[in-house]
């Protein structure tokens, strides 16, 4: 007698089936999450850029102060200010040898695309403007160096009263040559007593309450 074939029914899956509507809700939620993440990232970008600029400015101040100290040492060893950045890097002549006064890395401005400092004389308008800013920062008093050799060589501007000082709102425009940098040449005729950045951008850090890179003059004259 032939056997009767039987069909075994498989149990139905206990997992719930998703509908097209539920799939659509999941996609919308995913898109919303991605949008929130993108907005958060876009909001963080300016903060990251500002932090990066802050670090560059800190480095620029450190290097600028090293150049200022190198100028002071050069004047003490030679009796005259330097005429080029190369002189500071090569060292100050002292007898039959040269004494190192500036490390090579400090001769480069981290805020400028070219890496070149702008050399500043004590008769330059930028030097006089910086002197005024320092005097305003010190409540009308202009501090001068205690180094007699520097004091005897460098011309220090004299302000007869607080009314002679420029206020912060009277900033001179930057002679930009493109890219937010000054078109002023990095070299100067004769000696120099300080350096400044060629960057005309507004700063994050305040240096003597000055908020623009090219107005920061690093010099041994006022310290």
Residue-by-residue DSSP string for the chain:
-PPPP--PPPPPP-SPPPPHHHHHHHHHHHHHHHHHHHHHHHHHHHHHHHHHHHHHHHHHHHHHHHHHHHHHHHHHHHSS--SSHHHHHH-EEETTEEE--S-GGGGB-TTSSS-BPEEE-TTSHHHHHHHHHHHHHTTT-----S-HHHHHHSPPP--SSGGGSPPTT-PPPP-B-STTBB-S-S--SS--SEEE-SB-SEEEEEETTEEEGGG-EE-STT-
Once rounded to an integer, what is the mean pLDDT over residues 196-205?
95
Amino acid 61: pLDDT: 98
State how beta strands 217-218 and 202-207 pair: unpaired
Q: What pLDDT does residue 38 have?
A: 78
Q: Which band of pLDDT confidence, cut at 50, 70 and 90, is reported for residue 65?
A: very high
Q: CB count, 10 Å around CB of 123?
A: 11
Q: Look at residue 44 in the predicted model and tell me its pLDDT.
A: 61
Check residue 87 and give its pLDDT.
Answer: 96
Q: Which of 76, 92, 108, 68 has the alpha carbon at shortest distance from 222?
A: 68
Q: What is the pTM of this model?
A: 0.75
Flag whether pLDDT at 2 surpasses 90.
no
Q: How much is the mean pLDDT over the chain?
A: 83
The pLDDT of residue 187 is above 90: no
| Partner residues linked to 94 by β-bridges | 97
Predicted confidence (pLDDT) per residue in 123-180, tens digit = 999 999 999 999 999 988 888 889 999 999 988 888 766 666 755 445 566 654 555 7
Question: What pLDDT is attached to residue 164?
Answer: 63
Of 147 and 190, more confident: 147
Percent of the chain with pLDDT over 70: 74
- pLDDT: is 1 or 21 the higher one? 21
81-119 pLDDT, tens digit per residue, is 999 999 999 999 988 899 999 999 999 999 999 999 999
pLDDT band at 212 (very low <50, low <70, confident <90, very high): very high
Contact 137, 167 (CB under 8 A): no
């Amino acid at each position: 007698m032939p056997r009767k074939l039987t069909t075994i029914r498989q149990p139905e899956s206990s997992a719930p089936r998703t509908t097209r509507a539920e799939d659509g809700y999941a996609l919308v939620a995913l898109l919303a999450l991605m949008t929130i993440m993108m907005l958060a990232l876009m909001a963080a970008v300016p903060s990251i850029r500002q932090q990066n600029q802050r670090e560059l400015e800190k480095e620029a101040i450190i290097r600028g102060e090293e150049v200022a100290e190198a100028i002071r040492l050069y004047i003490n060893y030679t009796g005259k200010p330097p005429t080029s950045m190369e002189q500071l890097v090569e060292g100050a002549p002292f007898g039959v040898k040269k004494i190192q006064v500036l490390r090579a890395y400090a001769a480069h401005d981290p805020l400028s695309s070219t890496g070149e400092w702008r050399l500043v004389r004590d008769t330059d308008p930028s030097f006089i403007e910086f002197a005024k800013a320092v005097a305003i920062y010190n409540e009308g008093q202009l501090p001068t160096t205690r180094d007699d050799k520097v004091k005897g060589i460098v011309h220090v501007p004299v302000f007869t009263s607080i009314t002679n000082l420029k206020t912060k709102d009277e900033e001179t425009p930057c002679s930009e040559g493109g890219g937010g940098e000054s078109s002023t040449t990095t070299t100067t005729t004769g000696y120099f007593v300080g350096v400044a950045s060629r960057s005309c951008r507004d700063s994050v850090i305040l240096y003597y309450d000055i908020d623009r890179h090219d107005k920061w003059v690093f010099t041994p004259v006022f310290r």
